[in-house]
Chains A and B, each alone.
Chain A
Amino acid sequence: GAVVSQHPSWVICKSGTSVKIECRSLDFQATTMFWYRQFPKQSLMLMATSNEGSKATYEQGVEKDKFLINHASLTLSTLTVTSAHPEDSSFYICSARVVGATYEQYFGPGTRLTVT
């Protein structure tokens, strides 16, 4: 149980284009999903908290106009990297909290984004 999927698992795009990453909870409903970014050999950096049906809450320093987050249903959240640049290249990981669970998060497999 508590499986989270991400799509795509990796993507290469050209500078200036936009990329959408999907995060789905496959066997549970998630009112809250989280988006993280992980640089090589570093820990996870929380980018934003996504609540179903409401606007995402972004962490300090994260550009909300660049990283668009939509949580349209209890099983789907999307992250769109707009006008991507090489410095946006990173490993993006989403997670979801099971409703009523004791604060643990279940993580997707991650998406490797490379901007050329």
Chain B
Amino acid sequence: AQSVTQLGSHVSVSEGALVLLRCNYSSSVPPYLFWYVQYPNQGLQLLLKYTSAATLVKGINGFEAEFKKSETSFHLTKPSAHMSDAAEYFCAVSGPHMEYGNKLVFGAGTILRVKS
């Protein structure tokens, strides 16, 4: 069965520093991969998605992620953190296969803290 592991429930970076949020997936078939961001008491906003095209995916707010099949990873990065990036980030997997059952499978989430 498919699963998503986000390493690090909390990540703290200084403003202007590199942001790296880790996501590894487990799937027997090619997945579609997503990163979502959630601000307190709000729903989730789609940051970016990988759907078997380019392995380096650019999203909104300066974020990008690279799909690495050999490492079964889809880590999220941003070159320079901004205070407004402080939020919770969720990695998720889905795809056009019966294995996914038409659903998104979410990781546990990573809370990003940005220090001034």
Among A71-79, A81-89, A103-111, the stretch in contact with B: A103-111
Most buried by A among B41, B43, B95, B104: B43
Interface range on chain B: under 10, 10 to 19, 20 to 34, or 35 or more?
20 to 34
Also in contact, A109 and B42, with CB within 8 A (given A43-B107, A43-B108, A102-B32): yes
Tell me if A105 and B104 are in contact (CB < 8 A).
Answer: yes
Tell me if B107 and A103 are in contact (CB < 8 A).
Answer: no
**What residues on A are CB-neighbors of B32 within 8 Å?**
102-104
**What residues on A are CB-neighbors of B42 within 8 Å?**
109-110
Q: Tell whether A112 is near chain B: CB-to-CB under 8 Å.
A: yes
Q: Tell whether A46 is near chain B: CB-to-CB under 8 Å.
A: yes
Q: Tell whether B24 is near chain A: CB-to-CB under 8 Å.
A: no
Closest to B95 in A: A103
Tell me if B106 and A4 are in contact (CB < 8 A).
Answer: no
Binding site for B on A (CB under 8 A): 4, 6, 32, 34, 42-44, 46, 49, 91, 93, 95, 102-110, 112
